[in-house]
Amino acid sequence: MQLFASLPDRVTLVEVSPRDGLQNEPGTVATADKLRLVEALLAAGLTRLELTSFVSKSRIPQLADAEELVRALGPREGVRAWALVPNAQGYGRARAAGLTEMAVFVSASETHNRKNVGATIADTLARIREVASLARADDVRLRGYVSCVWGCPYEGEIAVGGAVALARTLVDAGCEQVSLGDTIGVGTPVQTARIVDAFARELPLDTLALHLHDTRGTALANALTGLELGVRTFDTSVGGLGGCPFAPGAAGNLATEDLVYMLDGMGVRTGVDLAALCEAGRVAQEVVGRRLPGKVLNAGPPVRRPS
């Protein structure tokens, strides 16, 4: 019996801690501290970053400094960074700040979508199409997110067919990749295999990413399942930082260092230095003022003996 026969040489990690990680914190992190965290992540070799979100400052006050953070970071050679935009107004703010990449988002759950963005799924898709039209005119790259694919805190299990249709709509609108979210961390490997298979029947695997929360300790197992089935992009957050303020019970994301440690041990390259990543995790703990749950962050990278 041959295990892990289809492993790739390399996968891509999307670091979401500056946005998804900090939006659920009870307090506001200073822009200078956010910038310090981003610099530490870049130093570890992470080159794809979800920086912030141009949403209503009253709804997510933790990200009210979006313009300031984007301008302070500026463009970096070899780095792709973007922000979430909910509508044309958010798109305009992001463009004015200098971004040339953005992300749009919709939930597979009608109830969660209404609570998250204050609109129906249909109205949200109309807003996304408006943003996509602006992006095409400006040559802005778009990424898409579908939340609550594995389950919803309000509606329970979600029909995968509806989630697939939403992802198809985002791709047709111009999103080059769609990230599928287990927003409340209910997924198990068998369920993940069924979901990835359903999406792969309708969309190329290279247009899909997995965004897995670790609420019940299954995110790493779900990532391994996705890897075996051909997914090559994973959203992660250093230290396991994160959560959704509009999804009760949504704990932190899959910790970047936990996934990097596993992949390193399997011979799958990420371009990320694990020791430097753990240092970035320590910076994250400093800026939020608490210990984070990432297992490798707390245990430390293993001592390697020379061969």
Active site residues per annotation: 244
Q: What is the DSSP string of the chain?
A: --SSTT--SB-EEEE-IIIIITTT-SSPPPHHHHHHHHHHHHHTT--EEEEEE-S-TTT-GGGTTHHHHHHHH---TT-EEEEE--SHHHHHHHHHHT-SEEEEEEESSHHHHHHHHSS-HHHHHHHHHHHHHHHHHHT-EEEEEEE-SS-BTTTBS--HHHHHHHHHHHHHHTEEEEEEEETT----HHHHHHHHHHHHTTS-GGGEEEEEB-TTS-HHHHHHHHHHTT--EEEEBGGG----TTSTT--PBPBHHHHHHHHHHTT-B-S--HHHHHHHHHHHHHHHTS----HHHHH-PPPPPP-
> CB–CB of 186/219 below 8 Å?
no
In angstroms, the CA 52 to CA 30 distance is 13
> CB–CB of 177/145 below 8 Å?
no
